[in-house]
Structure 1
């Protein structure tokens, strides 16, 4: 090997580290892309792409020339189709990247936002429960809720207890449906959530409770219900319903969930924040 052709990556240890970092970066990008499309119709399209790739591999293994040629054409023109079909998701990902939101924000900012979110929700829920004002509030977590946000009226408003209360005042334009909170903002109101089809749900539960259970079965969201019949406060998560919670117990459960989510984000983003500071 000549000195001209020498590269530091030719050293075994450095080459191993370079390959490891390369793989980690690829997996990180894939993970972020999955987070963008989760909870949207694009998930079904991604499954379809994997089926096409599987058929292509099988056709190559068994020398099925006609089928293999068809799959090649699908993959060849599929790239353009993906850009068209995934346009909303790609636009959202690029917007997040351009705003610096593709990577997690600082831990201090997250804690401030979560604290304000908790205070606003608890205050509004307390007010509505005492007056038996029905409410349905869903908090997006890791699973995207873009498709459900699109069914409602977009707001993109700063969270406040006053705004949440006004949304659910009876006979107002936005009171019927769910409020979806995304990235510590009120993304939309009057949203449609899927009703749970579980046969084990109590018949005494109304539409709000069924919708809260339904969305918790297909996403990892936290959903809060205030019953207009009883003023009871309930919370759903992962298909489980916690009914008729006292205000302090509700605040404790919600706080624990928000803190756990914040710690998870901080842990997953520590390396990337450190790299950014070092490069800066």
Structure 2
């Protein structure tokens, strides 16, 4: 009985040990993602593969060179990537190392929400027609292929500029994925529902159509009236206010974390500018 208990304790200790190492490596990768240090990790992997090949083929000169790289590599890494290492140590000191992902998702969503709402308000005031589709669980690859791929970071300036009249990309829909503008000038399927008001144009029919075949959320800015509308799950929400737009987007698209109250605060703050 004692031996079984001891073995179980050892097994649990090994599992915890491996889980902690895996979690630390995962957090480091997430911390380095999007920086030049991630390219270094790829380079280290390539060097390791070359070393294995040289070992099995007995390429002694290559082995000696790689061994020298391994010996002096850590010092070079510390010198070259001092900013990234300092940032990581600062985050550990602030206790934010283990909560970075959570804050990052909230920050990304806040940035995306602000960019969308600012752009829609700008275009609505100037009656610039727009059709913005936000991808969710249903993959929009087939519709992305009908347009011009961009894969650009979402900003309200870029989103607005796409829909400026008489520019090459203004006609059609923008498709977004997370915080990226994936494509512009995309064609969306028109709804054939007989219950759609006759006063609604092609943009509204396309927005309803895409919401009938996917779970995407689509925002329409009317060039005739300057009103903002939204479709989801086959339903059309017409003439919504800025506060209502923020509310719907926050409810449907916010990360599955605590629903931040800052969204509504940002909305009213932006309105008073």
Tell me, yes or no, whether TM beats 0.5.
yes
* Matches of 2:123 and 2:238, distance apart in 1: 16
1:254 paired residue among 239, 245, 249: 249
Shift, 1:258, TM fit:
1.7
Equivalent residue of 2:146, what SS? Answer: coil
User: 4+ runs of 1 displaced by more than 3 Å?
Assistant: none
Q: TM-score, normalised by structure 2?
A: 0.57
Equivalent residue, structure 1, for 2:30: none
Equivalent residue, structure 2, for 1:277: none
Give yes or no for the alignment of 1:145 onto 2:134: no
* Matches of 2:193 and 2:154, distance apart in 1: 32
Structure with the bigger RCO (C-alpha within 8 Å, sep 6+) is 1
* Matches of 1:110 and 1:152, distance apart in 2: 28
Equivalent residue of 1:241, what SS? Answer: strand
Equivalent residue of 1:138, what SS? Answer: strand
Shift, 1:109, TM fit:
2.3
Equivalent residue of 1:263, what SS? Answer: coil
Give yes or no for the alignment of 1:161 onto 2:156: yes
* Matches of 2:243 and 2:142, distance apart in 1: 33
Give yes or no for the alignment of 1:196 onto 2:191: yes
Cα–Cα, structure 1 residues 187 and 132, in superposed 2: closer, same or farther, change >3 Å? same
Equivalent residue pairs, number = 163
Q: TM-score, normalised by structure 1?
A: 0.55
Equivalent residue of 1:117, what SS? Answer: helix
Equivalent residue, structure 1, for 2:122: 127
Equivalent residue of 1:176, what SS? Answer: coil
Runs of 5+ unmatched residues, structure 2: 1-6, 8-99, 258-273
* Matches of 1:217 and 1:116, distance apart in 2: 28
RMSD of the alignment, in Å?
2.2
Shift, 1:256, TM fit:
1.8
Give yes or no for the alignment of 1:176 onto 2:174: no
Equivalent residue of 1:204, what SS? Answer: coil
Higher-Rg structure is 2
